[in-house]
Structure 1
Amino acid sequence: MVKKLIKASINSSFYLLVILFCSILSFRGVTQNLDLIIYDSLLNKFPKKNKSESKTVVVGITEKDIEKYGWPIDDIYLFEVIKNLDNADSSSIVLDLYRNVGVGKGADQLSSFSKENKKVISIFNVAEGISSIPEFPLERQAFNDIPVDVDNVIRRNLVGVDRKKFNLPPQFVSIPSRMVEIHQKLNNEIFDIDEQFSEGKINTIKKYSGGYTNVDSNGFQILIDYPRSNYFPKYSIESILNKNFSKDFFKNKMVVIGATAPSLKDIFAFPSSRFIKDSQLMYISGAEIHAHRANQLLSLQNGNTLQINTINPTLELFLIILLILSTALYIEKSKKILYGLLGLIIIISSLSIAVFLSFISGYWIEFSLPIISIILVSTISWVKKAAEQQKQKALMQKLLGQTTSPEVAEELWKQKDSLIENGKFPGTELPVTILFSDTVSFSSVSEKMTPTELLDWLNNGMEKFVKIISENGGMVNKFTGDGFLAVFGAPVRKSLEESSNASIKTAIKIRNAIDDLIKDSVKKNLPPLRLRIGIHSGKIITGSMGGAEKIEYALIGDSVNVAARLESLNKEKMNNNCRILVSGDSLKFLKKENYNIENWGECKVKGRESLVEVYEIL
């Protein structure tokens, strides 16, 4: 129990460390960068469909306009543009150009007309400290500050700030909010979008929403959905000045006047930028971004929902931790690494599909952090499991030595989880065949040799015998001085028919090997090595015996004793160099027509009251 508690404590600490490490990756922004790329690719591949016709138009200062009218453009031209748009019954007109200082001979006209016309909006910038047109009405001013992500991509729409909460003056309204507000008033509609955000009716971005990590979430921010390209029309300054447009088209439209020429540097990267090959299309002007934002805000004002939303960050974090722990538990419980790997592939695939389907349904959820976490947890768990398997393998080698055939060793390894319990082989009853051997006249041979010569002489034979036993699926359990005890059918279970036939086949091969050894010994003037073998089949108890200092795989039971007694039965009776005595319990499974067999009849063996049928394989 104490060991289990310690192991559980270690595993818990391990998982906590993994979660901590992944959290550090997240805080460092590693996962955020990956999630932003995934977000961009999804939005590029699956752009959001427009829920309504665009209510915005962009009037841009193009490169051609700069060539014709110069830069900075004289306010007289802007004045004429605004006047023409006003005459076309536009609902709101944003001058997305800084005019805290007038430009050219038309400065006064532009300033006076803009102040008096209730459709015109003048911009200012909080971060850079740039003011609007001097003495411009506060209720028609708007800030053009917009959040930029760490990779310099515009994804978020800063709709506004809670003016009541921070007691801010009326000019602290974003460009799109002011555009929609004036547009709605002109149409005698109530504008309450700020209240919807203040009251939490529209979900806003938090510090850890979606794939963001500790992002600046001040104010009311939502994700810009960026519908298909050319969603709203674009006109040049020249076309408006020349009245080369339809008045009916501009009627009740929100207009943004701004710089669209790349040379003016008022261009920004947007989610699809990295996937566009044409350098002319890689960036979008600030005016176009404001137009997108205004359309999105008007859609919300008209009762539509956000096309790209996020779930509660706390809930998302809880689900990620739950996924990590569930994956870790699954990998930990998987008996085979292959099963764990297949499970991990299924989990990653399922998460990928979930992220995709969520985005299609309008929700951006975090992907990189859970993926990195579960891969990391799985990898470390597999490393741990591999280390444990090495320990188990070492234990098996300690218990079984190097006397197991490759086939048996492989089978043992497949069954290791069921065989090994708490570092030991559990006691198991198995049907086996025991092969017991002893060297004939060992005492007399040992008198004629030095210890070194005797050991070399004995090992010369034992090396060959062990190899034959292993090759035929048996295992040498122990050496008994000048003999050995081998078992067939343990620790990997086999039928008695399989084990008895394998043991007798092995005994015949050992006999053939002895004949070859004797020929070699005669040449070297060494005594011949001769064996007696006893074979018996039956049930025994197998398992680990001993403790930490010494442990061995024990074979316990009557069948072991019978095989040993058969080996020593009538020692003097030797018909060849390797006598093989087999009990009737083993022989009954044998295909007898393949062997020359002599029946010794029922014999009394030491330590056993019942008689044993004994046969010799000649």
Structure 2
Amino acid sequence: MRSLLSWSRCLRRPVLTPPGGDGVMVVAIASLAITAAVAGLNHWGWLQFLEMQAYDQLLRLEWRLRVGPQGRVFHDERLLIVGIDEADITNLGEFPISDRVLAQALAKLQRHRPRAIGLDLYRPTPQGEGHAALQRQLNTPNLVAITKLGDDLTPGVLPPAGVPEDRIGFNDVVVDPDGVVRRNLYIGVAPNSPTDPDVAVYYSLALRLAILYLGQTPQASPSHPEAMVLAAATFRPLHYYSGGYQTIDDRGYQVLLDYHSPRTPAQIVSLQEVLADEVGAERIRDRIVLIGSVAPSLRDLFYTPYSASQTSQHQMAGVVLHAQMVSQILDAAQGDGALIWTWPLWGEHLWYLVWAIAGGAAVWPLHRPLVLALVQLFWLLGLSLIALGAVINQGWIPVVAPALATVSSSGTVLAYQAQRSYRQRQMMQSLLGQNTSPAIAQALWENRDRLLRSGKLPGQRLTATLMFTDIRNFSSLAEVTAPEALLERLNDYLSAMTDEVQRHGGIVNKFTGDGLLAVFGVPIAHTQVDDIAHDAQSAVDCALQMARRLEQLNQHWQGQGLAPLEMRVGIFTGPVVVGSLGGSTRLEYGIIGDSVNIAARLESLDKTRQSSSCRILIGEATQQYLNSGVPLEHWGAFPLKGRQQTVRVFRVVEG
């Protein structure tokens, strides 16, 4: 029926509903479950790759914000890099560089009194001529040579012979599973020898150079036993779960690497420039000088978080990478920059929970798809800005895990709401059947939370105008008419009457066989006199239009050789109580009160007294609300069946 279709449209209409106790419980349960699930995904490392990619993107964005549109270059004036490039190898015609050439370069650098020199070239055995000269240079107190600790797959490399242990630093670099260097390994541990299982502690090349530059040695932190203190900085080691990590090898002592620059932290000069005395003393004096290969053919290259944004030279040379590490340690030790911080594991889990709650709570009162999409976009944008703010302030907080938590929580809450709405629709269909008006459906839908919780609509007292209609002598008509024909004729009649009720702002509460009960003023309670009067006037206008529609139907039926119908209408205005009636297995939207009885009695009053095809009787309570333009015929006061008090009755005269 048309009313059922209208009701279905009402149910699909999005409505804002404030979250109640059920909403708090649903959001809480969903948030806790989603947080546990996301924490589990993180524990197994399934989100680590995405977290690392998000972190890299934030680092690149932070760098663009820092350099500005002019693309300013930041160089650490404490450092100088001597890079052995392709031209150096071609001009010298050799690699590895011979001991003689290397000794000459070191001597020229030492002449300008650098604070420290880091030799990022392996020299486990002599190379060509000049070994004695190189050995003299290696014995200078400000030079640090390198060793390679190695790992389970790669053997280590011995340092140059004769160099004391306090001037040996390892140049091992820890690479993340995606091939990117994001960490600075400053202290490593390795077995003393293949036959000696005891481990020894080694300092990195960068840490050794920083110690020489600062003139201070690292100490154990009194407040954090696992941390190291160097000058003004406390270096707390990373753990496998720090930031967006979950499955990294956290052996040794590592911190997140804070790149001074995406390309190089310091000026780079070639070996040929050093040998030709083309590097001024002011670029060497009191600086840390690192010597190493930058030639692509030697493949001492690494990917960095900035590689994806580089238009050329996507990889960074190892010696430049060590310069980045030295710059970071010096900045922290001298108080010029903080080390990159991360949250403890419990803090990250709390972070997931916050975003899970935010996602679920935000969508609970919303039912409009566009608004839901905008809210989700707003949350994700806000999360990204918070994460960017953390990066700007030297921090790494997870992004992907909380984003997954808020989206999953939102989806879970929406799925619950969809399932709950389906149950509500099923219950309303059971409650209302096929006689539902759009107004009642809308009212019930707006009260669906209470309906679902208790299975009933609470009673509501209000003033309404009731209308009963009935076909005169219907029993006699049914006696002489085939049931199929009678049903078709009755449907035509009730459909026309229902259309008029809805057109005049009323609702059809129920069909009573050959009649109906219509109500004006429900389910939205009217408290103002003007509104109640409008309902009464609408009911009378509706009855008059019903009379006209009946005349049209009679003309149609008479053309088919059928007898015309006559109807009676009773209208009364007064207090009623509306709500659900029945039990959990059988409910209906009920309207009860003395006013309902009076309207019914007016319809059936003195059935023999009818001068037209449609007789409309109203009570005095309704008459008082009508405007003066409605023609009325006063019938007098009548004692209605079942009531002690009389009711003054008026007939509405059809124009």
| TM beyond 0.5 | yes
Residue of structure 2 aligned with 1:99, choices 123, 142, 161: 123
Query: Structure 1 stretch 97-106 or stretch 602-611: which is displaced more?
Result: 97-106
2:319 to 287, 294, 302: 287
Asked whether the 8 Å contact 1:147–1:154 carries over to 2, the reply is yes
Alignment of 1:180-191 (within 5 A): 180-184=210-214, 189-191=215-217
Fraction of identical pairs, as percent: 29
1:251, 1:557 → 2: CA distance?
A: 102
1:35-184 alignment, distance < 5 Å: 35-47=51-63, 53-75=76-98, 76-106=100-130, 108-109=131-132, 112-127=135-150, 128-129=154-155, 130-161=157-188, 168-169=199-200, 172-184=202-214
Rounded to whole Å, the distance in 2 between the matches of 1:420 and 1:472 is: 31
The range that moved more, 83-92 or 45-54, is 45-54
Match of 2:400 in 1: 368
1: CA distance between counterparts of 2:35 and 2:76?
Answer: 47
Aligned to 1:306: 338
Question: Where in structure 2 are the equivalents of 1:458-607 lying within 5 Å?
Answer: 458-494=490-526, 495-593=531-629, 595-607=630-642
How far apart, in 2, do the equivalents of 1:544 and 1:358 lie?
55
1:341 deviates by 6.5
CA distance in 2, matches of 1:180, 1:409: 76
Inter-CA distance 302–28: structure 2 relative to 1 (3 Å threshold): same
Q: Does structure 2 retain, via aligned residues, the 8 Å contact 1:56–1:253?
A: yes
SS of 1:46's equivalent in the other structure is: helix
Report how far residue 289 of structure 1 moved: 0.9
**Partner residue of 2:257 out of 221, 224, 234:** 224
May I ask how many residue pairs the two structures share in their alignment?
A: 605
Quote the offset at 1:53 in angstroms: 4.7
**Who is 1:211 aligned against?**
244
Is the contact made by 2:103 and 2:133 (CA closer than 8 Å) also made in structure 1? yes
**Residue 20 of structure 1 pairs with residue 54 of structure 2:** no
**Following the alignment from structure 2 to structure 1, what is the Cα–Cα distance between the partners of residues 123 and 466?**
103
In 2, distance between residues paired with 1:515 and 1:115? 118
Displacement after TM superposition at 1:395 (Å): 2.5
Superposition deviation, residue 33 in structure 1 = 2.9
* CA distance 1:222–1:67, change in 2 (3 Å): same
Aligned-residue CA RMSD (Å): 3.1
Q: Secondary structure at the match of 1:575?
A: coil
Q: What secondary structure is seen at the aligned counterpart in 1 of 2:146? A: strand
What is the distance in 1 between the residues matched to 2:340 and 2:401?
20
Q: Which has the higher contact order (CA 8 A, sep 6+)?
A: 2
Following the alignment from structure 1 to structure 2, what is the Cα–Cα distance between the partners of residues 576 and 32?
A: 84
The 1:74–1:336 alpha-carbon spacing in structure 2 relative to 1, beyond 3 Å, is closer
Q: Is the 8 A contact 1:191 1:301 kept in 2?
A: no
Distance 1:308 1:74 in 2: 37
What are structure 2's unaligned runs of at least 5 residues?
1-19, 68-72, 192-196, 228-233
Contact 2:547-2:614 within 8 A present in 1 as well: yes
| Mapped partners of 1:354, 1:404: distance in 2 | 50
**Offset from partner CA, 1:7-59 (integer Å, 9 cap, x none):** 99987665444233323443454533333233223322334799995322111
Q: Indicate yes or no: 2:47 matched with 1:31.
A: yes
Residue 363 of structure 1: how far off its partner (Å): 2.0
Tell me the SS of whatever aligns to 1:592. coil
SS in 2 for 1:295: helix
Cα shift at 1:421: 5.0
SS of equivalent to 2:455:
coil
Letter in 1 for 2:203: V
Distance of 1:198 and 1:87 partners within structure 2: 42
Distance of aligned partners of 1:312 and 1:27 in 2 relative to their CA distance in 1, 3 Å threshold: closer
In 2, the alpha carbon distance for the partners of 1:377 and 1:407 equals 34
Give how far 1:407 is off: 5.5
CA contact (8 A) 1:404 1:470 kept: no
Is the contact between residue 126 and residue 145 of structure 1 (CA under 8 Å) also seen in structure 2? yes
Residue 572 of structure 2 aligns with an amino acid whose one-letter code is H
Is this contact kept in 2: 1:392–1:423, CA < 8 A? Answer: no
Match of 2:203, SS? coil
Contact conserved, 1:162 with 1:198, CA < 8 A, in 2? no
CA distance in 2, matches of 1:476, 1:6: 32
Q: Is the 8 A contact 1:400 1:477 kept in 2?
A: no
Please tell me whether the aligned partners of residues 468 and 603 of structure 2 are also in contact (alpha carbons under 8 angstroms): yes
1:336 Cα deviation after fit: 5.2
Shift of 1:441: 0.5
Normalising by structure 1, report the TM-score: 0.89
Aligned-partner SS, 2:454: coil
Match of 1:377 in 2: 409
- The 5-angstrom pairing of residues 322-333 of structure 1 reads 322-325=354-357, 327-329=359-361, 331-332=363-364
Q: 1:118 to 1:289 in 2, by over 3 A?
A: same
Matched, 1:192 2:218: yes
TM-aligned CA deviation for residue 70 of structure 1: 2.9
